[in-house]
Amino acid sequence: AQRVTQPEKLLSVFKGAPVELKCNYSYSGSPELFWYVQYSRQRLQLLLRHISRESIKGFTADLNKGETSFHLKKPFAQEEDSAMYYCALSGLGGRRALTFGSGTRLQVQP
């Protein structure tokens, strides 16, 4: 079975502070990991995926297979980063549906 764990329901930081949203996964095969974001009154949308190895809106995430983690990081938080963030996993070669974590709400205070 595949599982995604986001241990923090809420993360509150001040503008300019570093941000790390934690994500741990459980999957026996080779996973593909994603971060999705939902801004207020907007649709859920892709933020980044590990195979792209790119930085989006200043966010990065590195897949650590040894620790089975895919934490999302940004060195300097902005108020517009306030949103709900979901980590998700797809088993490569397995079912194409994503398994999502429970989500972390990021609040960036001025």
Partner 1 sequence: DVKVTQSSRYLVKRTGEKVFLECVQDMDHENMFWYRQDPGLGLRLIYFSYDVKMKEKGDIPEGYSVSREKKERFSLILESASTNQTSMYLCASSTTGPTSGANVLTFGAGSRLTVL
Residues binding partner 1 (CB under 8 A): 6, 9, 32, 34, 36, 43-46, 49, 86, 88, 90, 95-103
Least distance CB 106 / partner 1 (angstroms): 15
Q: Smaller CB distance to partner 1: residue 15 or 105?
A: 105
Which is nearer to partner 1, 83 or 90 (by Cβ)?
Answer: 90
The single-letter code of the amino acid at 58 is G
| C-beta separation of 92 from 29 below 8 A | yes
Cβ distance to partner 1 smaller for residue 1 or 66 = 1
- What SS3 state is found at 45? strand
Which residue type sits at 83?
Answer: A
Q: How far apart are the C-alpha atoms of 65 and 57, rounded to whole Å? A: 24
Residue 18: left if φ>0, alpha if ψ -120 to 50, beta else—which one?
Answer: beta
Q: How far is the CB of 46 from partner 1 (least distance, A)?
A: 5
User: Smaller CB distance to partner 1: residue 86 or 108?
Assistant: 86
